[in-house]
Structure 1
């Protein structure tokens, strides 16, 4: 576990100070405006794509089984609705490609950003979604509702293949989702991640990393999410140089799971990540 102390605490003995510097950063490695989520919330609610070529930003979430992809979509829905939302997400047991839209308060309208979570990556060949199918999804060739076959990638002859993808069908932001409380990624999955990243980079698709379950990875962060950017453990976790993603593209979040009411600190982290996803996607759309 990790113990955090205030920078202004004058009642620390030598042992306490040693523990503090071993477990926590004196200054957070990222600043976030705690207690003022409304600015980001209003920004997200007011967003509209800058070009008429697309009706929404499409965000593809990918990662290992159980990383929290579906839970993040459900959490975003709860934050935007201002209450816990009972969203029927299918989770890792579903092998299909499904577009998740979020309804606005006005009946019949949806927010101009959508999420696709995809079958989880797994270490063994023939299990989990294939890298080739993710690449096809990036280009918009996978039809909504298509069920992936772990042992056979989608081909142009399959009914689930979209031969003429529109700008709306393409992925505009790629988000790798990983859990903060799991061991390091295995070499086999890491290679698959690199293959997907290289393909996305070739298409100039912006990429982010979402680090979930931060409350389970650090005892003091579980007590107070405001400690999240002072945790050396979490900073080490997100400083994953092997993936080749810069630190400013990592976003630690806590998904809603056991809660029955919203929490401003949880919302702030989710909105911080969501706003960047929207901005990156909007920038990409302008270059299409």
Structure 2
């Protein structure tokens, strides 16, 4: 009997998911990561003659409505063990809901004690209506006092009451975090990308480490919405991370996809694990920067 063998054409998989995670996640290590964050203590930089306790300052920036305030609330929720909403956020896409430069401390244990890291929220980047690049740069250098109201048309002047003439190391940003929605990366204008690159370039000149948070991964990808553990299997999410990396110049290993608390009213371990991974890296970067910084 003669057999006819035909070569089958192997078509590329049309599945939206990879066979395995391209970045391993210790999904069952939430308690370990929480222990790290809760055990992180105030410290003194090696060369700080004042022997002053140092706080890690994490400065968030990015386009309007991409989840900066929601990320702060999500971290606060995780560490408080209950839903919080101190950083006011808006679900309507439009003008930036954040108007003032605000420092958010997170309460730790007894009343009056706080975690040794803080978040600074900024007005969103938006054409003609958002924060100016120069104001973000001044904030990085510690020249902006808490409570300053951002003006989309003029930068903070040196004679303003909210201008800090002599910033200490504690006033300066120690980590710069760009926050971008995975569902809207493709909608960002070239002008906005240029703004964010310029801010990143200034941070690099100051020696400040940079990261990016990719929010709304559940909105962007149905497979991730169905199961958060698909985040590093999702081809779409990986592509958005690669686009953001190529556009801003931030290395892929410094970009963390997350889902902020939004509709949930009960704790979600997988959601919290992704946020804790990002938070731990922010703390490491900030501590390294402070210890390496030469106080003048």
Report the Cα offset of residue 24 of structure 1.
Answer: 1.9
Q: For each residue in 1:205-225, what CA deviation from the matched residue of structure 2 results, as whole angstroms up to 9, or x when unmatched?
A: 000000000001111100100
Q: How does 1:3-14 map to 2 (within 5 A)?
A: none
Report the Cα offset of residue 95 of structure 1.
Answer: 1.3
> Which residue matches 1:47?
40
Out of 31, 35, 40, the position equivalent to 2:28 is: 35
> Which residue matches 1:174?
176
Q: How does 1:54-69 map to 2 (within 5 A)?
A: 54-69=53-68
1:108 aligned onto 2:107: no
Bigger Rg over Cα: 2
State the alpha-carbon separation in 2 of the partners of residues 115 and 37 from structure 1. 21
Residue pair 1:215, 1:222 contacting (<8 A) in 2 also: yes
> What is the Cα-based RMSD across aligned positions, in Å?
1.7
> Which residue matches 2:84?
85
Report the Cα offset of residue 137 of structure 1.
Answer: 0.3
Q: For each residue in 1:163-222, what CA deviation from the matched residue of structure 2 results, as whole angstroms up to 9, or x when unmatched?
A: 010111000000000001114221100111111011000011000000000001111100
> 1:18 and 1:203, CA in 2 relative to 1: closer, same or farther beyond 3 A?
same
Residue pair 2:70, 2:87 contacting (<8 A) in 1 also: no
Unaligned runs of 5+ in 1: 1-13
State the alpha-carbon separation in 1 of the partners of residues 114 and 10 from structure 2. 55
Q: For each residue in 1:104-155, what CA deviation from the matched residue of structure 2 results, as whole angstroms up to 9, or x when unmatched?
A: 1222100000001100001x2x321000111000000000000011101011
Residue pair 1:135, 1:196 contacting (<8 A) in 2 also: yes
Residue pair 2:98, 2:124 contacting (<8 A) in 1 also: no
1:259 aligned onto 2:259: no
Q: How does 1:1-288 map to 2 (within 5 A)?
A: 18-20=13-15, 23-51=16-44, 52-87=51-86, 89=88, 92-122=96-126, 124=127, 126-184=128-186, 185-239=188-242, 240=244, 241-288=246-293
In the alignment of these two chains, the number of paired residues is 271
Unaligned runs of 5+ in 2: 1-8, 45-50, 91-95
> 1:15 and 1:68, CA in 2 relative to 1: closer, same or farther beyond 3 A?
farther
TM-score (norm. length: structure 1):
0.90
State the alpha-carbon separation in 1 of the partners of residues 12 and 153 from structure 2. 54
TM-score (norm. length: structure 2):
0.88
State the alpha-carbon separation in 2 of the partners of residues 177 and 80 from structure 1. 20
Residue pair 2:177, 2:211 contacting (<8 A) in 1 also: yes
Residue pair 2:42, 2:54 contacting (<8 A) in 1 also: yes
Residue pair 1:53, 1:167 contacting (<8 A) in 2 also: no
State the alpha-carbon separation in 2 of the partners of residues 173 and 277 from structure 1. 7
Residue pair 1:49, 1:282 contacting (<8 A) in 2 also: no
Report the Cα offset of residue 85 of structure 1.
Answer: 2.2
